[in-house]
Amino acid sequence: MFAVVGVGAAILAVWLYLGFLQTVLAFSFLGGVYLLLFHWKWCYISIVTTPRDLRALWCYVKILWTARKFSHKNWTLPDIFHYTVQRHPDKPCFLFQDEVWTFREVEDFSLRVTAVLKKHGVKKGDIVGLLINNCPQMPALWLGNARLGGITPLINTNQRGNALIHSINVAKCDVLIFSSEYQSAIQEISSQLDPALKLFKFSHRRLNTDNKEISASGDGIDDLTSLLEVTPPAPWTLADADGFRGKLLYIYTSGTTGLPKAAVISNSRYVFMACGLHNLCLNKSDIVYCPLPLYHTAGGVLSVGQALLFGCTVVLKAKFSASQYFPDCAKYKATAAHYIGEMCRYVLATPPSPADKQHNVRVIFGNGLRPQIWTEFVTRFNIKNVTEFYGATEGNANIANTDGTPGAVGFLSRSFPKIYPIAIIKVDQATGEPVRDSRGLCQVAQAGEPGAFVGKISPNNPTREYLGYVDKSASDKKVVRDVFTHGDAAFISGDILVSDELGYLYFRDRTGDTFRWRGENVSTSEVEAAISGIADHRDAVVYGVLVPNTEGRAGMCGIVDADGSLELTRLARDLQRDLPPYARPVFLRVMSSVDMTGTFKMKKTDLQKEGFDPSLMKGDKLYYLDLKQSKYLPLGPEEYEKILKGIIRL
Bridge-based pairing of strands 398-400 and 247-254 is unpaired
Distant-in-sequence, close-in-space partners of 404: CB < 8 Å, separation ≥ 6: 385, 386, 387
| Cα-based torsion angle of the residue sequence 256, 262, 266, 267 in order, rounded to the nearest 10 degrees | 120
What pLDDT, on a 0 to 100 scale, did the predictor assign at position 257? Answer: 45
CATH 3.30.300.30 fits 514-645, yes or no: yes
Distance CA 18, CA 23 (A): 8
Contact of 587 with 622, CB cutoff 8 Å: yes
Q: What is the DSSP letter of 444?
A: B
- 404 or 103, which is more confident? 103
110 versus 555: which is more confidently predicted? 110
3-state SS assignment for residue 141? helix
pLDDT at 527: 83
Contact 461, 68 (CB under 8 A): no
Query: For strand 385-391 and strand 398-400, is the pairing parallel, antiparallel, or unpaired?
Result: antiparallel
The CATH number of 41-69+408-512 is which of 3.40.50.300, 1.10.150.670, 3.40.640.10, 2.30.38.10? Answer: 2.30.38.10
d(CA 236, CA 150) in angstroms, rounded, equals 16
| Mean pLDDT within 337-346 | 85
H helix or E strand, kind and range, residue 46: helix 40-73
Per-residue pLDDT band at 216 (split at 50, 70, 90): low
- Three-state secondary structure call for residue 548: coil
- DSSP code per residue over 553-601: -EEEEEEE-TTS---HHHHHHHHHHHS-GGGS-SEEEEES---B-TTS-
Domain span(s) for CATH 3.30.300.30 in the chain: 514-645
Mean pLDDT for the stretch of residues 401-415:
90
Q: Average pLDDT for residues 589-608, to the nearest whole number?
A: 68
What is the average per-residue pLDDT within 247-273? 85
Instruction: Compute the 3-state secondary structure of the chain and give helix, strand, coil in percent, each to the nearest 5.
Output: 40, 25, 40
142-156 exposure pattern, b = at least 16 Cβ within 10 A, e = fewer: bbbbbbbbbbbbbbb
Question: Which residues are 557's β-sheet partners?
Answer: 542, 588
336-340 vs 363-367, strand pairing mode: parallel
pLDDT of residue 597: 45
Which CATH fold would you assign to the domain 74-83+98-267? Rossmann fold (3.40.50)
Over range 479-498, report the average pLDDT.
90
Question: pTM (2 decimals)?
Answer: 0.80
Euclidean distance between the first and final Cα of the chain, in Å? 100
E-state strands within 33-117: 92-96, 99-102
Report, as an integer, the average pLDDT of 630-647: 87
Residues of the chain with CATH 3.40.50.980: 74-83+98-267
The reported pLDDT for the residue numbered 600 is 39
- Write the pLDDT tens digit of every residue in 412-464: 988 877 778 889 999 886 677 899 999 999 999 999 898 999 999 987 776 77
Q: Which whole-number Å values give the CA distances from 252 to 134, 183, 478, in the listed order? A: 16, 21, 15
Tell me: the pLDDT tens digits for 371-398?
878 999 999 999 999 999 998 888 888 8
Provide the 8-state DSSP code for 107. Answer: H
Q: Where in the chain is the domain with CATH 2.30.38.10?
A: 41-69+408-512
Which pLDDT belongs to residue 211? 67
Q: What is the average pLDDT score of the chain?
A: 86
Distance of CA 414 to the CA centre of its chain: 26
pLDDT tens figures, 71-101 = 999 999 999 999 999 999 999 999 999 999 9
Question: Does 598 have pLDDT greater than 60?
Answer: no
**Torsion angle, CA of 86/90/94/95, rounded to 10 degrees?**
-170
